[in-house]
């Protein structure tokens, strides 16, 4: 695969991973936690399979602005998963458990994409040969549904941001850090 021979893909349930304890140096879990029903079990499994000095990288999405009940209903229906709005503080509290510490974090906000850009994007995606080979009615229906979802997801993401969190499994013998630092983008350049 692409010149790499040491990559293996395994399909598994995050609530019951088929790996020995303390197998991985780094466990990466994109935005999966937002869609998992029992988040605590999934996190325990991630902790179990990461080494004592390992890291767990998570990228949960969260609402910056409160979404309407109608928007949540429409997104839940589209994803076929009941969405419960979570905010940044909810995720920080969730990942602030015994045995883990937030080693590094960075927040992002989704851009609002205008209608023309969404339409252009959809047209570009649907200009692929394998889609052009569909019957006209199938192509038009698929395009209509796809574009509808892109507008819905734009509307939802316009309320959202996400955080990249690098979580460190804390060693039992390790003293906690007192003096820490984080990026301060508001300072700009320093002059002496």
Rounded CA gap, 49 and 27, in Å? 8
* pLDDT tens, position by position, 69-123: 999 999 999 999 999 999 999 999 999 988 898 999 999 999 999 999 999 999 9
- Judge contact between 157 and 63, C-beta under 8 A: no
Please report, in angstroms and rounded to a whole number, the separation of the first and last CA atoms in the chain.
52
Name the pLDDT band for 190 (thresholds 50, 70, 90). Answer: very low
* pLDDT tens, position by position, 128-141: 999 989 999 999 99
Question: Is 104 exposed, middle or buried (CB count within 10 Å of its CB: 0-12, 13-18, 19+)?
Answer: middle
pTM, rounded to two decimals: 0.81
* pLDDT tens, position by position, 151-172: 999 999 999 999 999 999 865 4
Class of domain 24-111+159-169: alpha beta
List the one residue out of 85, 23, 33, 93 whose CA is nearest residue 59: 33
Q: Average pLDDT for residues 59-74, to the nearest whole number?
A: 97
């Amino acid at each position: 695969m692409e010149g790499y021979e040491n990559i293996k893909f395994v399909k598994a349930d995050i609530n019951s991973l088929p790996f020995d304890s303390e197998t991985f140096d780094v466990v990466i879990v994109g935005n999966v936690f937002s869609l998992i029903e029992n988040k605590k079990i999934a996190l325990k499994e991630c902790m179990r399979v990461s080494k004592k000095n390992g890291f767990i990288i998570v990228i949960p999405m969260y609402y910056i602005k409160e979404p309407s009940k109608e928007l949540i209903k429409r997104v839940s229906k589209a994803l076929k998963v009941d969405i419960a709005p979570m905010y940044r503080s909810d995720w920080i509290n969730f990942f602030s458990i015994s045995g883990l510490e937030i080693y590094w974090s960075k927040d992002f906000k989704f851009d609002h994409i205008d209608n023309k850009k969404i339409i252009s994007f959809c047209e570009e995606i649907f200009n692929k040969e394998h889609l052009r080979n569909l019957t006209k009615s199938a192509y038009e229906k698929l395009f209509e549904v796809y574009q509808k979802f892109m507008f819905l997801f734009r509307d939802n993401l316009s309320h959202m941001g996400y955080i990249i969190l690098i979580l460190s499994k804390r060693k039992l013998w390790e003293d906690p850090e007192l003096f820490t630092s984080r990026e301060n983008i508001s300072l700009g350049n320093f002059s002496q």
